[in-house]
């Protein structure tokens, strides 16, 4: 039982994995928060390290048998600091968070007290749930249930973060923590300005760079580490690692010299139990790849591809939030066409193009968003360049035109069937057979 392969023990799950492999390798993955991680990273992630319990930190565990796990976690920390070019005398890192959300909640637990005040970019303006999101009806995330939060916003005209309004609101609200970083913001951040605001109000500054960390590591975007007290990230978006989180903390803050202990205690035992050592090994492997010279070329290409995608869409007459992008994502505003994001998302699904509906500035309802979010990290991992992306932009153009047609012919079964038949990628199935054959040969 212990050594039999998955196909023998559980053909049902094996079959689902095979189908998903086919979907990932024959479709076009444009979800901005996803990527295609490397074979080496997946190998580490699926390793025997999943068997081991290791609550605590290297050299101070609550279980025996952690000699090699200690070696692994120390190596992973070292690689995390190297990947972001950080001096270990100034910065430390905890590599145990299970995901971006748990990393963020642990960081809040470390930095502020229950019911303290925090400010993050509002969800409809591109912020993340974990940055204090709540609605008029409900405090729906731990970051608004256990803390008092107030969202800052983007300006309605430029759709850029309104730093002047944030400064004025912070003066009144007096947050103990300001969070920057976002899930759907196509422009870079002014970390210097944020630091000024935080210093004036006596607040900590935390950057959640989940989306852009792979580009920041390549120094293709501004560096939040120069200004922030704490930086969190997921490891599976532009960073191209396994699904997990990291928390970086400064060691030299005069007002908080104990950030290392606060962050480590917040991760374990406050918010988590035993670390997932298989994941930590996969983080280490992916960070090694981030530290190599080829990574810079990858990050540059991700941005060049996002720009090419934006330019092609604009050339086809579409509206983008902020008009373009500085990073890996573009936000397409569908409202001038009278379309919703969910309609285009569905049509794209039928065509083997994976995207997600997304709120755009001024949306009346977050439940029926008027835009879609597109990212180029995964396609760039498949080695696509600007000329390939222009073809993808053309597919998206066709998807939007089809969506308009479907909307016009709403309810016409014939049309829906036509879309399904016309866009089921027969070549995709052949492609999958080739991928399978290649895999079997290897
Ligand atoms: N932070 C940001 C900015 C994100 O975009 C996300 C997820 O998309 C997260 C945190 C949460 O990450 P996870 O899904 O790993 O919990």
**ipTM value:** 0.99
User: What pTM was estimated for this model as a whole?
Assistant: 0.93
Mean pLDDT, residues 354-367 taken together: 86
Which ligand 1 atom sits closest to the C-alpha of 98?
15
Name the average pLDDT for the chain. 93
How does pLDDT run across 226-261, given as a tens digit for each residue? 999 999 999 999 999 999 999 999 999 988 889 999
pLDDT higher than 90, residue 363: no
Ligand 1, pocket-test mutation among 103, 126, 128, 209, most atoms within 8 A of CB: 128
**pLDDT tens-digit readout, 266-292:** 999 999 999 999 999 999 999 999 999
Question: Is 73 strand, coil or helix?
Answer: helix
Which pLDDT value is given to residue 411?
Answer: 58
What gap in Å lies between CA 216 and CA 299, rounded to an integer? 9
352 is written with which tokens? 């083997």
Q: For a pocket test of ligand 1, which of 31, 101, 120 has the largest count of ligand atoms closer than 8 A to its C-beta?
A: 101
Using CA positions, which residue lies closest to atom 10 of ligand 1? 100
What's the CA gap between 130 and 106, in Å, rounded? 11
From the alpha carbon of 127, which atom of ligand 1 is closest?
3
Distance between CA atoms of 401 and 390, rounded to whole angstroms?
A: 17
Candidates 266, 288, 285, 289; CA nearest to 277 is 285
C-alpha–C-alpha distance, residues 127 and 104, integer Å: 13
Average pLDDT over every residue of 71-81: 98
Give the residue numbers annotated as catalytic, written as ranges.
Answer: 53, 55, 208, 234, 237, 243
pLDDT digits (tens, 9 = 90+) for 5-32: 999 999 999 999 999 999 998 999 999 9
User: Measuring from atom 9 of ligand 1, which residue has the nearest CA?
Assistant: 100
CB 176 within 8 A of CB 120: no
**Long-range Cβ contact pairs of 293-299 (< 8 A, separation 24 or more):** 295/214, 295/217, 295/218, 296/218, 296/219, 296/220, 298/214, 298/218, 298/380, 298/381, 299/214, 299/215, 299/217, 299/218, 299/220, 299/238
- For the purposes of burial, counting CB atoms within 10 Å of the CB of 64, is it exposed (0-12), middle (13-18) or buried (19 or more)? exposed
pLDDT at 164 over 80: yes
- Return the residue whose CA atom lies nearest to atom 13 of ligand 1: 100
Q: What is the DSSP letter of 440?
A: H
Q: Which residues lie with the beta carbon below 6 Å from any ligand 1 atom?
A: 33, 99-101, 104, 128, 130, 181-183, 208, 210-211, 234, 243
């Amino acid at each position: 039982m212990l050594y039999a392969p998955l196909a023998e023990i559980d053909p049902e799950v094996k079959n689902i994995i095979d189908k998903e492999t086919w979907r990932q390798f024959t479709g076009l993955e444009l979800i901005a928060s996803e990527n295609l991680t490397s074979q080496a990273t997946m190998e580490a992630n699926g390793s025997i390290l999943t068997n081991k319990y290791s609550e605590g930190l290297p050299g101070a565990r609550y279980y025996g048998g952690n000699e090699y796990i200690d070696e692994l976690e120390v190596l992973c920390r070292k690689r995390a600091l190297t990947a972001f070019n950080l001096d270990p005398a100034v910065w430390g890192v905890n590599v145990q968070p299970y995901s971006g959300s748990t990393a963020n909640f642990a960081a809040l637990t470390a930095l502020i007290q229950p019911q303290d005040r925090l400010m993050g970019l509002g969800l409809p303006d591109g912020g993340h749930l974990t940055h204090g999101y709540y609605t008029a009806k409900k405090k729906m995330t731990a970051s608004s249930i256990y803390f008092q939060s107030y969202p800052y916003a983007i300006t309605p005209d430029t759709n850029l973060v309104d730093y002047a309004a944030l400064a004025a609101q912070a003066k009144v609200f007096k947050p103990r923590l300001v969070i920057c970083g976002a899930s759907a913001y196509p422009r870079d951040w002014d970390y210097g300005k944020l630091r000024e605001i935080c210093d004036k109000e006596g607040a900590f500054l935390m950057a959640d760079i989940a989306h852009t960390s792979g580009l920041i590591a390549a120094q293709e975007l501004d560096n939040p580490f120069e200004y922030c007290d704490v930086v969190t990230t997921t490891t599976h978006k532009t960073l191209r690692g396994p699904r997990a989180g990291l928390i970086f903390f400064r060691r030299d803050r005069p007002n908080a010299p104990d950030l290392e202990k606060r962050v480590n205690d917040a991760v374990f035992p406050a918010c988590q139990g035993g670390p997932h050592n298989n994941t930590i090994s996969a983080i280490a492997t992916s960070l090694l790849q981030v530290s190599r010279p080829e990574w810079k070329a990858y990050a540059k290409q991700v941005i060049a591809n996002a720009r090419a995608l934006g330019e092609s869409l604009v050339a086809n007459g579409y509206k983008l939030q902020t008009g373009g992008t500085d990073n890996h994502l573009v936000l397409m505003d569908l409202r001038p066409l009278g379309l919703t994001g969910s309609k285009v998302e569905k049509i794209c699904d039928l065509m083997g193009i994976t995207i997600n509906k997304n709120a755009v500035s001024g949306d009346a309802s977050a439940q029926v968003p008027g835009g879609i979010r597109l990212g180029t990290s995964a396609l760039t991992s498949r080695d696509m360049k600007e000329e390939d992306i222009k073809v993808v932009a053309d597919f998206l153009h066709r998807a939007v035109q089809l969506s308009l047609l479907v909307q016009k012919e709403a309810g016409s079964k014939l049309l829906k069937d036509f879309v399904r038949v016309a866009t089921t990628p027969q070549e995709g199935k052949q492609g999958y057979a080739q991928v399978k054959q290649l895999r079997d040969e290897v």
